[in-house]
Amino acid sequence: MQGAKRVAIIGGGASGLVATKCCLEEGMDPVCFERNDDVGGLWNFQEVVTDWKGSVYPSLISNSSKEMMCFSDFPFPEDYPTFMHHSKVLQYLRLYAKNFGLMKYIRLKTDVLTVVRNQDFPSTGQWDVTTKDSEGNTKTLIFDAILLCTGHHCYPHTPLDSFPGIDRFKGQYMHSKMYRDPQVFAGKRVVVIGVGNTGGDLAVDISRTAKKVFLSTRSGSWVFGRITHAGYPVDMMLHNRYACLMASFFPDPLVSSYYERDLNDRFNHANYGIQPNHRALVRQPMVSDELPSRIISGAILMKPNVRSFSETGAVFANGTVEEVDWVVFATGYSVVYPFLKEEDIVDVKASHVSLYKLIIPPQLKHPTLGVIGLVDPLMSILPIAEIQCRWAVRVFKGLVKLPTAEDMLADIAKREAKIADRTGGSQKRTLKIDYIPYVDGLGKDIGCHVDMKRLFLTDPRLAFQVFFGPCSPYQFRLVGPGKWQGAREAVLTQWDRAIKPARTRILEGGGHDATLSLLLKVLAVLAMIGALCLYF
């Protein structure tokens, strides 16, 4: 690859692996630096937790189905469960690295110490990257571009200052990152603070051994199950182009009301003490199949925000006091890039980051640095990180032209104002994305976005699945750069792969196509609208 742009990829997790592959697809020369002795990043479970590395907890099951979580040209094996234990996701990432020959570009047990502009940056856009290997040897190398793929689940955010009295609390407390074994809490009274996905998961897991679990929330949460109508994966039913198009015709409150009614049909959130103070889809919901049953069985008690701590317990905002032995802070993570010694490279303030397309820092003279995976979607980050990488490397090559710095800043401000209007102005929500509009925007820039009108004329069977079925990652390999010959078949067979692992007892005539079911519902709604129009 003589003469190819040399790209430093920091982090060998899911984003780092796909970044390495995307660089190779575009004829670049990638070098991926990974601190650990194996790839996988967050999905590489570690029994011993470190300050600088994110890691899943032992009981974690993916909230995204395998068809919506895969990379666009590499489906999960058919026999993998639809929702996977973290060990299966790690196996998949290793298979991906092996299949595309990525390991020879990855330097394991190598820590990145600093990333700074090269002295010739004003003319070249190059970077100096200083690393240290497992033997303590340091080295500084020059790269034409940088992809930051370290994620944002490494550095725990534990807001102790927000909880008066925690310093005199005689019990124990930890951040959720440190959680490993529910047996630690056997016979104890535990309060879990925070109702994100992790807070819900840990409350359920701990409740199997603890004497009592209190789940404390300031704002409540809408709770999705992993499966929905007819037992199909909720993300495959939720993320489709038809639903996205229909939602764009109606005001947000009306769309929220539709989802709220559907969610409350599963269990009434107010009756279960988890009713949120915000509308559905405004903030990240919780995904939990078991929380309602644990609440109604008394294993988990919902509580409002913790006002303060005494020596032996927690005082809640409604005035109730409960004795507790343990506090688990499921309070999220801070966005930190400790190797960026020049603060103006990526401007992080209170977990708010200003990036064009949530990838490129607009203030850099040369767009030779990209941030991957720093998004807050209602689905898996893996395929989103992939299309971000595909877009970023084409920016590095000059194949995707960026607006001026002023126009990029204006675009960022416009996007953030729109998000603030929907979410009540919280800076924490500026990383939120609407999946389909976001990936479609990047896909159009790359040239891999499907022209639906043309597709309905040339391949109506495929168009039917692309429009009414899930917006799965394969859609972005149907056309354009990086086109994959297996993409069409992957789209047409995705429902079979999603359900196949559950079909261990096959009955004659069982099963049906969820996309067809959705179309029948669409036709029923259209018929009703037509009847109303004729009536009025």
pLDDT at 1: 37
Of 162, 181, 200, the closest CA to residue 330 belongs to 200
Of 308, 344, 340, the closest CA to residue 327 belongs to 308
Task: Supply 126's token pair.
Answer: 């190059």
Q: Which domains does the chain have, with CATH numbers?
A: 6-154+334-442 (3.50.50.60), 158-331 (3.50.50.60), 451-499+509-536 (no CATH)
* E strand residue ranges, 277-356: 286-287, 300-303, 306-309, 313-316, 321-323, 326-329, 333-334, 348-349, 352-353
Per DSSP, helices labelled H in 9-157 are 14-25, 66-69, 86-99, 121-124
pLDDT at 421: 76
pLDDT at 512: 58
pLDDT at 154: 86
H, E, C per residue of 98-112: HHCCCHHHEECCCEE
pLDDT at 325: 98
Of 8, 116, 32, 5, the closest CA to residue 394 belongs to 5
Helix H or strand E segment including 213: strand 212-216
Distance CA 452, CA 464 (A): 10
- Spans of the chain below 50 pLDDT: 1-2, 528-532, 534-536
- Torsion region of 397: left, alpha or beta (phi above 0 gives left; psi -120 to 50 gives alpha): alpha
pLDDT at 431: 83
* Residue 63 contacts residue 138 (beta carbons within 8 Å): no
* Three-state DSSP state, 324: coil
Task: Supply 362's token pair.
Answer: 């607009």
Q: What pLDDT, in 10s, does the model give residues 19-34?
A: 999 999 999 999 999 9
DSSP one-letter string for 255-297: HHHHHHHHHHHHS-TTTTT---SS-TTTSPPEE-SSHHHHHHT
Per DSSP, helices labelled H in 369-429 are 382-397, 405-423
